[in-house]
Amino acid sequence: MPQAAPLPMHTIQASAQQPLMVRAVAIDQQHLERQAEAHRHDFYELMLFTAGSGHHQIGEQVMTVSPGDLFLIAPGERHDVRSLQGSVRGWVVIFHADTLAANNYTGQLSLPPTHLGGGSSLPGELLLLPFLATDPLGNALHFELEDRLPNWLARIEALSAEMTAQQIGSELAVQAHLHLLLIDLARLVAPRLSTLSVAARPLLERVFSLIEARYRQPLSLSDIAAEVHRTPAYLTHLVKQQTGRTVLEWILERRIREARHLLRRSDDSVERIALSVGFQDASYFARQFKRRNRLSPQAWRQASQLNAEPSGPKI
């Protein structure tokens, strides 16, 4: 049987007008009309509905929509909103993981001892875990915000206003609003899921701390396994089970994320950037970068610096 054509991939790019790869877009009739086909995207998405009804598809699941519903859509997930009715209203917040690390944000998230077995501080990467998790039945996550809804709407509207204002400190304000949304999301997720087992949390903390401290240097799965006194096979299984990615994928993600930051913010050559983020081979770096960003490092740099996004991002 012939293979189905790949779904189109929606992306966002940094630009001179919007240097952070985060957007807040109102859901209205015009927005829905632009969603003419099922698609995937390379960013994280929060989809919040405030009015209307209908259903949309995330992965293989058809999800009913009601006012106050919040849906989480991970990068690469199939998404189809064509069955939503034109009266649906709400907000979409989309962002790249890069946004969590811009301006040297340290990325430490503290969650209550009730859910962390004694209290802990999780690396900022784990703010993204709700998007990679499922509920106990294997379904993608969605929440009824109920009494949280007014605060979420106020936060999203404030984020959107800061992006439009382009005033002194707007980038920091946008990041702050996004982080507060994700922190509240983590609090929503924690009571419902056992995604991060109590026994695994200290080990995951150590793994992510090692990646953060050493990703610019030669770093392998065996190196990290030796540091945390586990076998590579055990560590691969645990991290994949708990986070949806392997240790090597997290190392690569961290290096690529820093490379995007340097391509956008510095004039260093691609070769120098590759070396500075831990790649020993610039050609291998370029291949990995293009695989994840659909552009070569040089083309991505040019697009991020010059792209004015005249038609806005597709969600």
- List, for residues 214-244, the tens digit of each pLDDT value: 999 999 999 999 999 999 999 998 888 766 6
Domain boundaries, the chain: 9-189, 201-306
Distance CA 207, CA 245 (A): 13
Question: Which regions of the chain are under pLDDT 70?
Answer: 1-6, 13-17, 98, 101-126, 129, 132-141, 190-201, 242-244, 304-315
Tokens of 132: 């990679």
9-10 and 40-41 beta bridge pairing: parallel
Tell me the Cα Rg of the chain. 20
CB 105 within 8 A of CB 173: no
pTM: 0.64
Inter-residue contact 77 to 40 (CB < 8 Å): yes
The domains spanning 9-189 and 201-306 adopt the same CATH topology: no
pLDDT, tens digit, for every residue of 29-75?
Answer: 888 888 878 887 878 899 999 999 899 988 778 889 999 999 988 77
Is the separation of the CB atoms in 148 and 70 below 8 Å? no
How far apart (Å, rounded) are the C-alpha atoms in residues 75 and 95? 10
User: 9-189 architecture in CATH?
Assistant: Sandwich (2.60)
Residue 201 and residue 120 in contact, taking contact as beta carbons nearer than 8 Å = yes
SS3 content of the chain, % helix, strand, coil (to 5): 45, 15, 35
In CATH, the number for domain 201-306 is: 1.10.10.60
Question: What is residue 63's three-state secondary structure?
Answer: strand
Interatomic CA distance for residues 221 and 40, integer angstroms: 30
